[in-house]
Amino acid sequence: RSYSFMLRTKNPCGKVPNELYIAMDTLADEFGIGTLRLTTRQTFQLHGILKKNLKTVMSTIIHNMGSTLGACGDLNRNVLAPAAPYTKKEYVFAQETADNIAALLTPQSGFYYDMWVDGEKIMTSEPPEVTKARNDNSHGTNFPDSPEPIHGTQFLPRKFKIAVTVPTDNSVDILTNDIGLVVISDSNGEPQGFNLYAGGGMGRAHRTDTTFPRLAEHLGYVPKEDILYAIKAIVVTQRE
């Protein structure tokens, strides 16, 4: 009997390095079913990966500046932002914020790299404000002395989706996410904070009337200095 897998990458903001795209295209032909699927959440999917080839495929993705960590399962999924390479300050800020949120909520255990690249360190450094927000326990949100300070051992009850965008650009379908952020700038075009929306989602359980799709609702305005803490607070509320 042969076992095959679907494999999904995680690409915050839809950013794909050139070498990663080339690697994914090659892997689809050599180890998949010859198709490379692009998802509505700015990721790649490879189908038909045989179990015996899984480590080769995973290590190739990691060594070409890609990752699958957190792309599936009951945790924060890929964080969306407008992928078009606009240079306006609000677009750049939206993408930077999406990157920081993705880093904040990425599982911290080294098991992923132990499994797929024999413990080799492939991770890049993260902004200090991300590390500070993750480790801050001033509101009792963290599991003390845990390698997973936000997720603990249970992670989340369901997958969790976040998107960031700018006014008039709804390419990320902002209200269908568990958390949606819209950049708010001053009269000089300098980003100051976010309008935060919460509670969106298109999923439902079959034949369970208490579950239903709904659009996110406006929760309030959050200054840019506090946004990682606001995100963390909502995720922890979902966790509990």
Confidence of residue 208 (pLDDT cuts 50, 70, 90): confident
Confidence of residue 25 (pLDDT cuts 50, 70, 90): very high
Q: Where are the domains of the chain?
A: 4-63, 89-239
Helix axes 227-239, 89-104, angle to 10 degrees: 40
Q: What is the pLDDT of residue 182?
A: 99
Is the pLDDT at 24 greater than 70, yes or no? yes
Query: Does this chain's domain 4-63 share its CATH topology with 89-239?
Result: no
Q: What is the pLDDT of residue 198?
A: 97
Model confidence pLDDT, tens digit, residues 133-190? 999 999 899 998 888 999 998 899 999 999 999 999 999 999 999 999 999 999 999 9
Model confidence pLDDT, tens digit, residues 66-95? 999 999 999 999 999 999 989 999 999 999
Q: Which amino acid is at 140?
A: G
Model confidence pLDDT, tens digit, residues 97-136? 999 999 999 998 888 888 899 877 666 678 999 999 999 9
Contacts of 181 (CB under 8 A, 6+ apart): 94, 97, 162, 163, 164, 165, 174, 194, 195, 196, 197, 227
The DSSP element (H or E) to which 232 belongs, if any, is: helix 227-239
Please identify, in words, the CATH class of the domain defined by 89-239: alpha beta
Q: Name the one residue in this structure whose structure tokens are 């609000």.
A: 90
Is the pLDDT at 230 greater than 80, yes or no? yes
- Domain at 4-63: CATH code: 3.90.480.10
